[in-house]
A and B are shown apart, each in its own frame.
Chain A
Amino acid sequence: MEKNRTTEEEGVIRQVWMMFASIKLSIIVLLLLAATSVVGTLIPQKPGARPEAGEGLWSQISSFLYLHDMYNSWWFQLLLLLLAVNLIVCSLERLPAVWRWVRKTPRPPRAERVRKLDNAAVFVLKEDMDKAEKKALDALGGWGIRTGVERDGDARLVHGEFGRWTRLGVYGVHLSVLLLLAGGLVGSLFGFSGFVNIPEGDTAHEIRLRGGAGTKDTGFSIRCDSFYVGFYPDGTPREYRSTLTLLDRDGEEILTQDIRVNHPLTYQGVRMYQSSYGTAAARSVSLKLIPEEGEPILMTGEVREPFSVPFTDGHIVLMNFMDNFQLRGHRLGPTFLGFYESAEGKRETLVLPRRHPGFDRMRMGERGFAIEINDYEPLYFTGLQVSKDPGVGLVYLGFTLMLLGCWVVFYLSHRRIFVLLERREDGSVEYTLGGTANRGHHALKQRLVKIEENLKKA
C-alpha cells in the first residue's frame, strides 16, 4: 500500500519531469513568445509606465496583463522562465547519454557492416597489401582524422574518426540561450539605466531613472566641460561631442575624456553615452530694435542684464531662455522671455521667439518699437544616457557560444570512415570504402568521393 503510493508519487513527478523535458513544450513556449511579441509591437509600449486600473473592462484587463509594458510583465517573464526550465530539464535528460557517447572510443566495426553501409564503394587495385594500408592511412589522416588499423588474417580495416565532440555542439547552443536569459536577469536586478542633462560648466551626480522610477546617485560627479555639435553642409549632424570630467565625492578630478556617439566613457562599470543635446541658456544675446520710423539698431548684452533703449529711455531685461517654448499649444522653438520697463516704470512682458521675428511686432502696442532676437550664443547642455549593466558579460559570452555552437551543429558532424582491404586470389586488393555520420550525410558522401579519388591516384 505504502509502497504503491510512493511509486505513484514518483510516477507523477516523473510525468511532470518528462513534460518539462519535452520538445513539444518548447515549441509551444517559443510560439507563444513569438505571438505575444507580435502583440507587443502592435500596442505602443511605454516601459515603466504603470497605468492604474481604470473603469472599463478593457482597461482592467490591460492593466492586469501589463499590455503597455508587456516585455516586463509577470506573464512574459514567466514564459521566459518556462523556456529556461524546459531547456535545463531537457539537457539534463539527454546530456548524460551523449556524454557517454563522446567519452567512449567506438570499436571498429566488422567487415560485414562496412560492406553493408549504404554509401559503400567497392573497387579493386593491383597492388601490395602493405602499400595499400599505408595509402589508406594517409588518405584518412590527411583529413584531420584520428586513424587506426585492425588486422584480421588477410583482411585489414583502416578506420578514421572525426569530431565526436561535435555532438555537444547543440548543448552549446542551448547553454548560450540560458546565458542570454541569465545575463538579462542579472542586468535587470543589479543594473540601472537613466538620463541626465548637464549644461556646459555644470556638474551632476544624480540621474533620472528610465520609466519614471526615481533618481539614482552614481557615486561620482560628472562635469560637462564643453559640448560641440558639427554639421554637414546640408544640415545633417556630423558629430556630437562632450568633454566630460569625472569627480569623486570630495570634488577631486578623476579623469577627463571626450565622448561621442558610439564612443562612450566607462568608469567603475558605469557607462556614459552621448545621447542628446540642447540649448540650456544663452551666453550672450544680440537684439534688434526696430522703431516705427528710422533705422533699426543692434545691441549686444547678456541675459538678466538690462539693455537701455536709446529712443525711449526705458530698458529691456531678458530673464529666461527656453529651448522649446510653448504658448497656447504652439511650439515657438528657442525663445527669450523677459520684460520691457518704460521710463515711467510700466512693465510689459516680452516673448521673443528666435524663429518668429514678427511675433513681437504684432504685440508691440504703444511701446513704439519692435524687438527681434538677432542672434545669440548658445550655452549647450549635453544629454547623457548613464547605465550600468553587470549582465553584459554573460550576454556576450552567450552570443559567442551561440555562434560557435550553431557553426558546429550545422556544419560539422561526427564522422567515421572505413577502408576495408581484402586480398584477392589474383594478388590484387579489393577496397571497400564507406562511412557513417550523425548528420550531414551529403557532406560525408562528397568527402568519400574525394578519398576514393586519392586512393585510386597512385
Chain B
Amino acid sequence: MNSSLILSIVTFVYGAAALLYISAWIFQKPLWGKGATALLWAGFLGNTAGFCLRWAESYQMGIGRIPLSNLYESLVFFSLTMAALYLFVEWKTGRREVGAFFGPLIFLAIAYASLSPNISDQIRPLVPALKSNWLTIHVVTCFLGYAGFALAFATSIMFLIHPGEGSNRGWRTRFPAPEVLDDLTYRMVVFGFLFLSLGIISGSVWANSAWGSYWSWDPKETWSLITWIIYAVLLHVRLMRSWTGKKIAWLSILGFAAVMFTYFGVNFLPGLHSYGSF
C-alpha cells in the first residue's frame, strides 16, 4: 500500500461523494445527503492519510520533506483543504446543497493529480531554495486561501442561477435562500482574503530570506497580487457602495478565475516562478 494508491482510491471516493451530493439535491433525498457527507468524510480522512504516508515515504527514501512542492502534491493538498473547509462549513450551516456544486471541485483537483498523464507522482528531493520552513507556511496558507475562494465561487454560481425567493421553478429553488448564499460568499471571500494575504506575505518573507528581495514582480507573484486586488475591490464595493447579490457574485467569479490563472495559467507566460514547479 503506497500513498499514490491511497490517493487514487480517495479520488474515486470524492467522485462518489460529489455524485451523491448532486443526487440528494436533485431527487430531494435527505438520507442520500447524509451518505454523501459520510463519503466525503471518508475521502477527507483517506486524503489526510495519503498525505501523511507520502511524507513518511519521503523519509524512507532519505529525502525527508513535507509533500508540498510539486504540482501533484499541491493538487492533493488543494483537495484536502477544500474538503476540510467544506466539511467545516457544512457542519456550521447544516446545509448540504452547496456540496452538489463544491463536491465536484474537490474531486476535480485530486482527479487531475491522479489521472493526468502529464503529472508525475514521484517523490523527488528538494532543491536548496525550497528547503525552508517558509515553504510549509507559504503553501498551507495559500491553499487555505484558494479553498475559501473556491467555495465562494461555488456559492456565487448558485446565487446566479437561483431563480429568486418565492419562485417555484423546480430544482433550483431547493437552494439556500439568496441572502444566505450571498452571506456565505462574503464570509468565504473574507476567509480567503485573510489567508491569501498570509500566503503572499509568507512567500515574500521567504523570498527575502532566500535571495534578498521580498518582491520581484515575477509572473506568479504579480498574479497573486492581481487576485488579491480583485478581492480587495470586492470587499470595498460591498461595504462602501453596498453592492450585494449579482454584482458581488460576478466579482467573486472573476476573482476565482484569477486564482486559477495564478495557479495554472502562469506556467504559460514568459518567465517562470523562480521557485520552480508551481
Residues of A in contact with B (beta carbons under 8 Å apart): 23, 26-27, 30-31, 33-34, 37-38, 40-42, 44-45, 47, 71, 184, 193, 232, 234, 236-240, 260-264, 271, 273-275, 385-387, 389, 392, 395-396, 399, 402-403, 406-407, 410, 442
Q: Given contacts A27-B233, A44-B271, A403-B197, are A232 and B63 in contact (CB under 8 A)?
A: yes
B236 touches A237 (CB 8 A): no
For B132, list chain A residues within 8 Å (CB): 262
Partner of A236, one of B124, B205, B219, B222: B124
24 contacts between A and B (CB under 8 A): A27-B233, A31-B233, A42-B269, A47-B217, A193-B213, A232-B63, A232-B125, A234-B125, A236-B125, A261-B210, A262-B129, A262-B131, A263-B209, A273-B212, A385-B212, A387-B212, A387-B213, A389-B214, A392-B208, A392-B214, A402-B197, A402-B201, A403-B198, A407-B194
Q: Given contacts A232-B63, A275-B211, A396-B205, are A262 and B128 in contact (CB under 8 A)?
A: yes
Considering only residues 23-60 of chain B, those with a C-beta below 8 Å from chain A are none
CB distance from B185 to the nearest CB of A (A): 14
CB distance from B193 to the nearest CB of A (A): 7
Partner of A37, one of B124, B215, B225, B233: B225
Instruction: For the complex, give the distance between the alpha carbons of A44 and B222 in Å.
Output: 13
Instruction: For the complex, give the distance between the alpha carbons of A239 and B127 in Å.
Output: 8
Interface string of B226-250 (1 = CB under 8 A from A): 1001101100110011000000000
Instruction: For the complex, give the distance between the alpha carbons of A26 and B240 in Å.
Output: 11
For A403, list chain B residues within 8 Å (CB): 194, 197-198, 201
Partner of B212, one of A26, A239, A271, A407: A271
For B205, list chain A residues within 8 Å (CB): 396, 399
For B77, list chain A residues within 8 Å (CB): none
Interface hub of B193, B226, B270 (most chain A Cβ within 10 A): B226
Interface string of B109-127 (1 = CB under 8 A from A): 0000000000000001101
Partner of B222, one of A23, A37, A239, A275: A37
Residue of B with least CB distance to A391? B214
Partner of A41, one of B198, B201, B209, B223: B223
Partner of B204, one of A236, A264, A399: A399
Instruction: For the complex, give the distance between the alpha carbons of A47 and B213 in Å.
Output: 14
Residue of B with least CB distance to A271? B212
Contacts beyond the supplied A193-B213, A273-B210, A442-B183: 6 A-B pairs with Cβ under 8 Å: A26-B236, A40-B222, A184-B215, A236-B124, A407-B194, A410-B193
Partner of A406, one of B197, B215, B240, B269: B197
Partner of A34, one of B208, B210, B219, B229: B229
For A262, list chain B residues within 8 Å (CB): 128-129, 131-132, 209-210
CB distance from A276 to the nearest CB of B (A): 10
Partner of A27, one of B129, B193, B237, B271: B237
For B236, list chain A residues within 8 Å (CB): 23, 26-27, 30
A30 touches B217 (CB 8 A): no
Considering only residues 184-218 of chain B, those with a C-beta below 8 Å from chain A are 190, 193-194, 197-198, 201, 204-205, 208-215, 217
B222 touches A41 (CB 8 A): yes
- Give the total of B residues in contact with A, Cβ under 8 Å: 43
For B215, list chain A residues within 8 Å (CB): 184
Residue of B with least CB distance to A402? B197
B211 touches A385 (CB 8 A): yes
B233 touches A30 (CB 8 A): yes
Instruction: For the complex, give the distance between the alpha carbons of A208 and B168 in Å.
Output: 71
B131 touches A261 (CB 8 A): yes
Instruction: For the complex, give the distance between the alpha carbons of A33 and B233 in Å.
Output: 11
Instruction: For the complex, give the distance between the alpha carbons of A42 and B211 in Å.
Output: 24
Residue of B with least CB distance to A230? B128
Residue of B with least CB distance to A241? B128
CB distance from A174 to the nearest CB of B (A): 11
For A396, list chain B residues within 8 Å (CB): 205
For A23, list chain B residues within 8 Å (CB): 236, 240-241
Residue of A with least CB distance to B258? A34
Considering only residues 64-90 of chain B, those with a C-beta below 8 Å from chain A are none
Residue of A with least CB distance to B206? A262
Interface string of B11-22 (1 = CB under 8 A from A): 000000000000
CB distance from A412 to the nearest CB of B (A): 12
Instruction: For the complex, give the distance between the alpha carbons of A274 and B271 in Å.
Output: 21
For B213, list chain A residues within 8 Å (CB): 193, 387, 389
For A274, list chain B residues within 8 Å (CB): 128
Instruction: For the complex, give the distance between the alpha carbons of A273 and B129 in Å.
Output: 11
Q: Given contacts A41-B223, A273-B211, A395-B214, are A240 and B128 in contact (CB under 8 A)?
A: yes
Instruction: For the complex, give the distance between the alpha carbons of A14 and B141 in Å.
Output: 43
Residue of B with least CB distance to A410? B190
Instruction: For the complex, give the distance between the alpha carbons of A240 and B131 in Å.
Output: 12
Residue of B with least CB distance to A400? B201
Interchain residue pairs A-B with the least CB separation, the first 10: A261-B128, A387-B212, A44-B270, A41-B219, A34-B229, A23-B240, A232-B125, A399-B201, A262-B132, A34-B226
Residue of B with least CB distance to A235? B125
Interface hub of A37, A44, A387 (most chain B Cβ within 10 A): A37
Instruction: For the complex, give the distance between the alpha carbons of A92 and B183 in Å.
Output: 31
